Amino acid sequence: MKVTDTSDLWWKTAVVYNLDVETYLDWNDDGVGDFQGLAHRIDYLAELGVTCLWLAPFYPSPQKDNGYDITDYYGVDPRYGHLGDVVEVFRTAKDRGIRVIVDLVVNHTSDQHPWFKEALKGKDNPFRDYYRWRDEPPKNQAENAFPDTEDGTWFLDEKSGQYYRHSFYRHQPDLNTANPQVRDEIAKIIGFWFQLGVDGFRVDAVPYLLDDDTPDDPYDFLRTLRRYVGRRSGTGMLLGEVNLPHDEQYEFFGEADGDGLTMQFDFVTNQALYLALAREDARPLRDSLRSRPQLESSNQWGNFVRNHDELNLNQLSEEDRQFVFERFAPDESMRLHGRGIRRRLPPLIDGDPRRLEMVYSLIFSLPGAPVLYYGEEIGMGENLDLAGREAVRSPMQWSDEENGGFSSAPKRKLVTTVPEGGFSPEYVNVAQQRHVDSSLFTFVRGLVQTYRNSPEIGWGDFAIVDQPFDEVLAHTVRTETGHLFAVHNLGPEPHTVPVTIEDVVPGTRVVDLFHDHILLPDEKGRLDVPLDGYGHRWLRVVRPGDKRLT
């Protein structure tokens, strides 16, 4: 694949970092994180090498669903600051070369949103059709996103005698995105935040955003949004949350034209990763990666280890899901919604630094853009004392001080609390790791820089390299100007991995990007690569005259 001017397609090789202002840093010590605190940590993100900051919802909200129940799309929760503080964060990030994307949550609103309050006033109210109503719920209802919490997706408004649809909690009524007025409102929201300086949006729960009650093409709305984003911002992007099989995800990209969502998270490969880790077998990952559809050059995958929700395993078979549960969530309290795990990665693998480094090396080496969830760079664990999904949303651990350096407020005033035990701030924090060569933070920082110096990962043609070892994943990404091999061992036993380089010429050498080793292939391009148990290597093919940094 030939790489041309990539400046307008910045997301192809972005390093995305997701955080919630509420739990990142409390600057005024009222117990709640705020934009002033975030502004003082932008340099930390720049040091790590982040190129795109993704902010979780910070809008006014009753906070019944971590801010995803929104009452005002144009405002800021006063606990975090005001619009001036938000713009200052945007400006500071841009000064450090960091783009900013924000959550676009328009599949539903809070039931406290002015639109819904108006809709409840009567069937003739102009806002009634902003939501989805029926006289009787359908006999075959779609399953609620939270089946262990909500009984169905339709709830009776006793005053009017009609039911409104809620794909999530009943306090989050679904918007009627088939209504042209609702689409106009969504366009205004997008335009407003573009005007304030954002570079794009992470689009929440995209399948629930599309209207499935009309004969029209439901994906047409995504194409309309993408065209609007292009008009308002020539370099804006839409990163979609679509937890579906790869063939169904492809439709959300816009299929052959690639004119739907700009990026999508690869949930299928994420779930295959945990199955592979549980089995210490790379074959689930090989199968998942081979099932990825070929994307248009302007589209991209978002690769991740963890996100802000439960570790959803719904794309695995029932047998495989139970195997992962038994290995990584043996206690029922560690599971959620019958499909997911409410834990972070480090405790699952007993904090083994070899496996941690291998996993992040693997994710960064896959074609796409890596997405980090705050605290991953230091190996934060979960707090199972917190309810539900909140277990992985504990405060950022900056130091070994009380409350992990997140806030000096009394514990009773904290929006949430840090974990105790082996993954508490006493043992896991930024201050201890920043200047230690052997720390996870130092490793991730170096990994980010190596990824940023390897544009072929975002742009190249991808291929799995067949291996005789079930536990080894070997793959290659290649452009006209760059050729990279990556090998990862998910098992504890060392192996010698066979690799063959095509089109080898005299003087060709292979450089290990992490260990400063040089390997020389034979005249047929064959190379034997030693790989430790839980080992990882990135190998750049360097031909005579190649001026790439190694």
- Mean local confidence (pLDDT), 394-422: 97
Whole-number pLDDT of residue 4: 41
Of the pLDDT bands very low, low, confident and very high (cuts 50, 70, 90), residue 3 is very low
Is the pLDDT at 82 greater than 60, yes or no? yes
Is the pLDDT at 125 greater than 60, yes or no? yes
> What number of residues does the chain have?
550
CB atoms within 10 A of CB 546: 17
- Mean local confidence (pLDDT), 413-429: 97
The structural domains of the chain, ordered by start, are 11-104+181-384+431-452 (3.20.20.80), 114-165 (3.90.400.10), 460-542 (2.60.40.1180)
Which residues, in sequence order, are CB contacts of 93 under 8 Å at separation 6+? 42, 45, 53, 99, 100
Contact 109, 59 (CB under 8 A): no
CB atoms within 10 A of CB 344: 23
Look at residues 439, 500, 434, 445 and name the one whose alpha carbon lies nearest to residue 467: 500
Is the pLDDT at 523 greater than 90, yes or no? no
Look at residues 189, 205, 121 and name the one whose alpha carbon lies nearest to residue 157: 121
Whole-number pLDDT of residue 215: 55
- Say how far apart CA 122 and CA 134 lie, in whole Å: 14
- Mean local confidence (pLDDT), 262-275: 98
Whole-number pLDDT of residue 214: 58
% the chain with pLDDT above 90: 88
User: Using one digit for the tens of pLDDT, what is the confidence trace for 209-264?
Assistant: 986 665 567 788 999 999 999 999 999 999 999 999 999 999 999 976 789 999 99
Q: N- to C-terminal Cα distance for the chain?
A: 21
Of the pLDDT bands very low, low, confident and very high (cuts 50, 70, 90), residue 6 is low
Whole-number pLDDT of residue 469: 97
Whole-number pLDDT of residue 213: 61
Whole-number pLDDT of residue 2: 38
Name the residues annotated as catalytic.
204, 241
CB atoms within 10 A of CB 126: 11
Give whole-number Cα distances, 264 to 84, 376, 514, in Å: 31, 20, 29
Give whole-number Cα distances, 29 to 197, 414, 486, in Å: 28, 9, 45
Which residues, in sequence order, are CB contacts of 220 under 8 Å at separation 6+? none
Of the pLDDT bands very low, low, confident and very high (cuts 50, 70, 90), residue 527 is very high
- Say how far apart CA 271 and CA 278 lie, in whole Å: 11
DSSP string, 334-356: GEETTTEE---HHHHTTT-HHHH
DSSP string, 500-546: E-TT--TT-EEEETTT--EE---TT-EEEEEE-TT-EEEEEEE-TT-
Is the pLDDT at 538 greater than 70, yes or no? yes
Contact 48, 447 (CB under 8 A): no
Is the pLDDT at 180 greater than 70, yes or no? yes
Q: What average pLDDT does the chain have?
A: 94
The strand pair at 237-240 and 263-265 is best described as: parallel
Q: Which residue has the tokens 């579906």?
A: 244
- Alpha carbon 471 to its chain centroid, in Å, reads 25
Q: Where are the alpha helices (DSSP H) in 305-416?
A: 318-328, 345-348, 353-365
In SS3 terms, 434-497 reads as: CCCCCCHHHHHHHHHHHHHCCCHHHHCEEEECCCCCCCEEEEEEECCCCEEEEEEECCCCCEEE
CA-based radius of gyration for the chain: 24
Degrees to nearest 5, angle at CA 330 with 327 and 333: 140
Whole-number pLDDT of residue 492: 98
Is the pLDDT at 437 greater than 50, yes or no? yes
